[in-house]
Every structure is written in structure tokens, then in C-alpha cells.
Amino acid sequence: DAKTTQPTSMDCAEGRAANLPCNHSTISGNEYVYWYRQIHSQGPQYIIHGLKNNETNEMASLIITEDRKSSTLILPHATLRDTAVYYCIVRVAGDYKLSFGAGTTVTVRA
């Protein structure tokens, strides 16, 4: 019952911006877009979330299209430590559950 579609994998160069796309064409008005990542042998790590507006924090920026049917996570200056599986998740406001899909395996290369 995946609500999001992400590319299986992508490479990016160290020091460059990494742009990770996510499609969520059936998103509802009360659903947020969350991004998590999982570095090898660690637990998932929260990155950022948003509803309608673009968001930025110390880790990344989240750009949500006006129709909210897709979003892009931007890692402004990718480092080797950003190599991980990145999960885009749609979550209803007030829902305790996070439903993880397959995510995008991002490999940052020197």
C-alpha cells in the first residue's frame, strides 16, 4: 500500500547537491511528507517533514510542489557520510504509524 514512489538508487558526487525526488500523487490534504534515512547498520534517522510549504533545517531542504503531488529532498553539500537509504513517507496528521517503502539508495562518491 505504498503511497510514495522513489527511484531505486542514485549516485551523487561529494560536495555537490543531491536532489532526491519523491512522487505522492494521491496525497490528501491532511497528509504530511516525511523524510528519513538509514545509514548502514543504524536505525532510521529523521531528516525533515512538511505539509505545503518548503522547509529547511540544518540537514536538508524539502521542496513540495504546489499541487503537493511530488517533493524533492535536497542535501546541499553531500558528503560520504550521507550515503544511506532515504525514505519518503506520507503520513496522516495525528497518525502514530510510519509506513516505510523501499526508499532510494543514495551513494555519495568521492
Binding mask 76-95 for other proteins (x = CB under 8 A): ---------x-----xxxxx
- State the Cα–Cα distance between residues 32 and 13, nearest whole angstrom: 29
Alpha carbon of residue 97 to chain centroid: 17
Question: In this structure, which amino acid lies at residue 84?
Answer: A
Instruction: By CB under 8 A, tell whether 97 contacts other proteins.
Output: yes
Instruction: By CB under 8 A, tell whether 56 contacts other proteins.
Output: no
Q: What angle do CA 67, 72, 78 make, to 5 degrees?
A: 165
Give the nearest distance from C-beta 16 to other proteins in angstroms: 26
Q: Site residues (CB under 8 A) for other proteins?
A: 32, 34, 38, 41-46, 49, 85, 91-100, 102
